[in-house]
Structure 1
Amino acid sequence: MEEASSAFSTLLDLPPAQASVPETTPPPGPEGHRKRLREKLLRAGPDALADYELLEMLLFLALPRVDTKPHAKRLMARFGSFARAVTASENELRGVEGIGDAAIAALRLARAAALRLLVQEAREQPVLNNWERLVAYLTAALAHEVVEQFRVLYLDSRNRLLADEAQARGTVNHTPVYPREVVKRALELGATALILVHNHPSGDPTPSRADIDMTAEVRQAAATLGILLHDHLIIGSGRHLSFRRENLL
């Protein structure tokens, strides 16, 4: 019987031990591990995966012949979470062993896909009726930025999002804003309302005196042309502040 089994295995061009392994059994080594992760994702959903497993699966796409688990573990050790890894700067990522152009592109793609989905959801309804989705998008876009970024959401007469544009990037605690440029762009787009947004890299969304003064200047400049300033949002780490809610508008 052993000779017959050996002959059958030879016909299949497989070693004798492999000939008896069912097709559903994942192969040993990295490829088997990848298959098990894919099955886990499809069976139990993404919530069943740890942050490092999500990173590992993303890196599958970039490094198809490499065991990406050590790379994912190094990313977690450096950045502490999936979110911080996919939003890290290129220079920071290049400082992690094994992370080069292909891996960085995969991480950038993950972030871009998430932002594209969130902004599309925010566009589907009037912004003021879709506030939670809007804040989710802005948090994903800005909460992990290491310098201040000032953005303007331009809205039409039905409060639908016409454009979301970055007006300026600054330092860790200051961004220059020019009210005239904000209003000029609103006129170019035919916008009738605005929402100002910027982040505080410190994580604390409490507005500074400069934030309050700048908001008043933009509001006044917009009002002279019949453009309404709905709100100014400051995005921090895991929380945000609304000028309107805090009676600062």
Structure 2
Amino acid sequence: MLEAACAKPERRGEETLKGAVLAAPAARRPRTSAVDAAARYRGMPRERLRAFGPGALSNVELLALLLGAGLPGHDVFDVARSLLEHFGSLRVMLNAQREEFDGLRGIGDAKGAKLLAVFELARRALAEQLDDKPLVDTPGAVEDYLRLQIGARPYEVFVCLYLDIRHRLIRAEESSRGSLTRMVVYPREIVRRALMLNAASLIVAHNHPSGAVQPSASDRRLTRVLRETLTLVEVQLIDHLVIGARDTYSFARNDWN
């Protein structure tokens, strides 16, 4: 009898407790913490990448996955967003130099090194597309490569792609570097380098930091002098490209005008 009498109140207590929980107002029920919600939010891009591929993610999400961690009070998405806003575009950020990451919020030495490594891998991947292929057959790949290399530079750069007799790349070199509006190019040095590399032809390119790709009078004069000088040593100038952040001007496609 004693055992049965003691057991009965316990069951009533359990039932009473369950009823109290079910009857509790919604405001008093356990709620998901902000930390848990943020953790699920951070995990979403990774899950979507696995399910649908990287193309389903935004620039901020891709950059956040690369950075990995944020700052106290600022999650990694805030850091990624501010980084993109600082540079203005992915193209500009891909061309950033190491010192341009110094002092940026959430980007220390480790994250800066990781970003620079990824950007260099992207450039090398584009360069590999040019290897062992006639460059005259892949003008799109050449322009993509040059646009990534020099399209977003804040100063003018002159690049030479030296080719063999089958129009395959021997060497890509930066031959001159100038200011925002002025650069000096020496055709004699380009010819000397072409002979040294035993190049049969070459493609030259330079960027316009302003973004406008219409060639200037000095661009046209340089192109004419370079063509004539290279012809004297039987080296063909295949094209001179003016590279902007988005557009490209080809002297060859415009009848060298």
1:232 corresponds to 2:248: no
Tell me the residue number matched to 1:217: 225
Tell me the residue number matched to 1:206: 214
Is residue 126–residue 145 contact of structure 2 (8 Å, CA) maintained in 1?
yes
- Post-superposition Cα deviations, 1:67-107, rounded to whole Å, max 9, x if no partner, equal 42221021122223333333234444324222222222122
Note the 1:110-189 alignment, pairs <5 A.
Answer: 110-189=118-197
Please tell me the residue identity of whatever aligns with 1:54: L
Residue 34 of structure 1, CA deviation: 4.5
1:86 corresponds to 2:94: yes
Tell me the residue number matched to 1:72: 80
Aligned in 2, Cα 1:185/1:233: closer, same or farther, shift over 3 Å?
A: same
Note the 1:37-76 alignment, pairs <5 A.
Answer: 37-60=45-68, 63=69, 67-76=75-84
Residue 208 of structure 1, CA deviation: 0.9
Note the 1:97-116 alignment, pairs <5 A.
Answer: 97-116=105-124
Is residue 207–residue 243 contact of structure 2 (8 Å, CA) maintained in 1?
yes
Structure 1 segments unaligned to the other structure (5+ residues): 1-26
Tell me which moved more, 152-161 or 119-128.
Answer: 119-128
Please tell me the residue identity of whatever aligns with 1:102: A
Aligned in 2, Cα 1:236/1:243: closer, same or farther, shift over 3 Å?
A: same
Residue 169 of structure 1, CA deviation: 0.9
Q: Percent identity?
A: 36
TM-score normalised per structure 2: 0.79
Is residue 92–residue 153 contact of structure 2 (8 Å, CA) maintained in 1?
no
Q: Partner of 1:122: helix, strand, or coil? A: coil
TM-score normalised per structure 1: 0.81
Please tell me the residue identity of whatever aligns with 2:84: M
Q: Partner of 2:182: helix, strand, or coil? A: coil
Is residue 51–residue 81 contact of structure 1 (8 Å, CA) maintained in 2?
no
Is residue 54–residue 82 contact of structure 1 (8 Å, CA) maintained in 2?
no
Distance of 2:109 and 2:38 partners within structure 1: 22
Aligned in 2, Cα 1:75/1:171: closer, same or farther, shift over 3 Å?
A: same
Please tell me the residue identity of whatever aligns with 2:173: E
Structure 2 segments unaligned to the other structure (5+ residues): 1-34
Is residue 52–residue 82 contact of structure 1 (8 Å, CA) maintained in 2?
no
Tell me the residue number matched to 1:20: none
Distance of 1:210 and 1:248 partners within structure 2: 14
